[in-house]
Amino acid sequence: MKGVTFRDAAKEAGLKSHAGKKAIKPEYGKRLPDEKGIRFKGSVDLDEQFKEFEPNSNRWDYGVGLNDGKEFAVWIEMHPASSLEDVKLVLKKLKWLQSKLNSPGFERLLELTDAAEKKGVRAYHWIYKGRAKFRVGGQEEVLLAKVGMNLPGRGLRVRR
């Protein structure tokens, strides 16, 4: 585990990774602000890479490698947060992502994902654009909690 980097783990899974946040579309750049003591080490665009082979799957958007002295991975889905249907779709995408992470070749990415959870960082993040229509304590939050996710936020916040 020691010394495993996100970019090495992505390569092992057959994914094309980019330095820092470069895999993230520029329009979403501001949604991933820098946090003190945490560096973006690499990123992958899952949606783009699996589009050709799984055009009809509910594909998750991005993976990001972060380092606060030790490398870990978080997974980011950019999606509107307008209705219960959005929640259901994101849950399908999460299922797809977790299926990938449990596939052969993805072991190290899964280890980096677990490393995030172990340090109290949520591994799966839903970031929305526009207006959020979910309230705290609502059905949407309950559904997400049952799969270990928080309500969507406007941007990535690693530290809670």
Hey, what are 31's tokens? 């949604």
Q: Which is nearer to other proteins, 23 or 90 (CB)?
A: 90
How much of the chain is helix, strand and coil, in % rounded to 5? 35, 20, 45
What distance lies between CA 113 and its chain's CA centroid?
9
Residue 47 to residue 65: CA distance in whole angstroms: 17
Contact mark string toward other proteins, 74..103, x via CB under 8 A: -------x--------------------x-
148, 74 Cβ separation under 8 angstroms: no
Residue 147 interacts with other proteins (CB under 8 A)? yes
Nearer to other proteins, 6 or 128 (CB): 128
Q: Is 114 in the site for other proteins (CB under 8 A)?
A: yes
Q: Which of residues 127-146 bind other proteins (CB under 8 A)?
A: 128, 131-137, 141-142, 144-146
Q: Could you give the CA distance from residue 1 to residue 122 in angstroms, rounded to a whole number?
A: 19
**Residues in touch with other proteins (CB under 8 A):** 81, 102, 110, 114, 117-118, 122-123, 128, 131-137, 141-142, 144-154
